[in-house]
Chain A
């Protein structure tokens, strides 16, 4: 049985594309056949995060318009051979793909792939409605920050109106030391406020930046906390019961240094 998962957020820049890339790689590392569909029209990014930017020949709009078969447009990952990308178009016309067309494409993809992950544009306009149309499940990415949580609530409302009941939350860019000081919302707070089940909490991690620089998602890095968090989410998507990770507490010396200045 294949599953179509849309990764969405409301507010931009909270980590949708990062999450899509990492979950895609993680699911493929477990042997699943995975296709990532970038629907953020005009703002092509997912190819960069996967290191596939030089291999793109055709895009989603070419496929939807019937110019090429989807198999021709898919870009296979260099390292993870069961992972494919369907890149978004660089043209700015956001209405180039309508919901029915994406539903139809996903029906085709379901025949061949175990997981179809859709990277959604920010906002609640047409692009959002298109991205969610085919989804069995939505992952809402948010950050521990009031505006991101508020926008997540909007998106959750919109998903409800579109009869999408299966919604999971990912809280990204948590800074454990700020949480410890009582200066940042934690997963429990956000879970309580939004009343949506959390499927993961990802710490803010410099390795996300360096791995993005290299085009190799952080989930492949054994020693990264964010990587571990993404591996846990992948396990939960696959139905495993995995306890939420404890973030490393600030060390005694680091605390002393903070208290007594530099």
Chain B
């Protein structure tokens, strides 16, 4: 409930935001397979454009207070030639 323009989040909104973040982590945790698949998919797509160092690549979920980001650090070892788009 907002009274006189007070803009504080209700406790239900706080609960909802916290749950959304924690469930992203829970779901990623219980399924490392999904993270592995995601990693393989990313490698496949990026390899169309550049050579990457697969050993040193890192992907992870990072949280802020109320959001989650997929963070990827992918060392590029060689760029492929631009063959044009068409």
- By a beta-carbon cutoff of 8 Å, the part of chain A in contact with chain B is 146, 149-150, 153-154, 157, 179, 181-186, 189, 193
Using C-beta atoms within 8 Å of the partner chain, give the interface range for chain B. Answer: 10 to 19
Q: Which of A153, A182, A184 is close to B23, meaning CB atoms less than 8 Å apart?
A: A153
Interface residue stretch chosen among B12-20, B61-69, B71-79:
B12-20
B20 proximity list for chain A (CB < 8 A): 193
A184 proximity list for chain B (CB < 8 A): 11-12
6 closest A-B pairs by beta carbon, nearest first, are A182-B10, A183-B11, A182-B12, A146-B15, A153-B23, A193-B19
CB pairs A–B below 8 angstroms (8 shown): A179-B12, A181-B1, A182-B10, A182-B11, A182-B13, A189-B12, A193-B19, A193-B20
| Best-buried of A154, A181, A183, A186 by chain B (most CB within 10 Å) | A183
In the complex the two chains form, what is the Cα distance from A189 to B13 in whole Å? 9
A179 proximity list for chain B (CB < 8 A): 12
B44 within 8 A of A: no
Name the prevailing secondary structure of the B interface residues.
helix
Contact A185 B12 (CB under 8 A): yes
B1 proximity list for chain A (CB < 8 A): 181-182
Name the prevailing secondary structure of the A interface residues.
helix
B82 proximity list for chain A (CB < 8 A): none
Q: Which residue of A lies closest to B22 (CB)?
A: A150
Q: How far is the CB of A196 from chain B (nearest CB, A)?
A: 12
In the complex the two chains form, what is the Cα distance from A252 to B82 in whole Å? 71
Contact A193 B16 (CB under 8 A): yes
Interface residues in B1-43 by Cβ distance below 8 A to A read: 1, 10-13, 15-16, 18-20, 22-23, 26-27, 30-31
Q: Which residue of B lies closest to A178 (CB)?
A: B12
A186 proximity list for chain B (CB < 8 A): 12
Q: How far is the CB of A122 from chain B (nearest CB, A)?
A: 17
Q: Which of B10, B19, B31 is close to A150, meaning CB atoms less than 8 Å apart?
A: B19
A146 proximity list for chain B (CB < 8 A): 15, 18-19, 22
B26 proximity list for chain A (CB < 8 A): 150, 153-154
Contact B12 A183 (CB under 8 A): yes
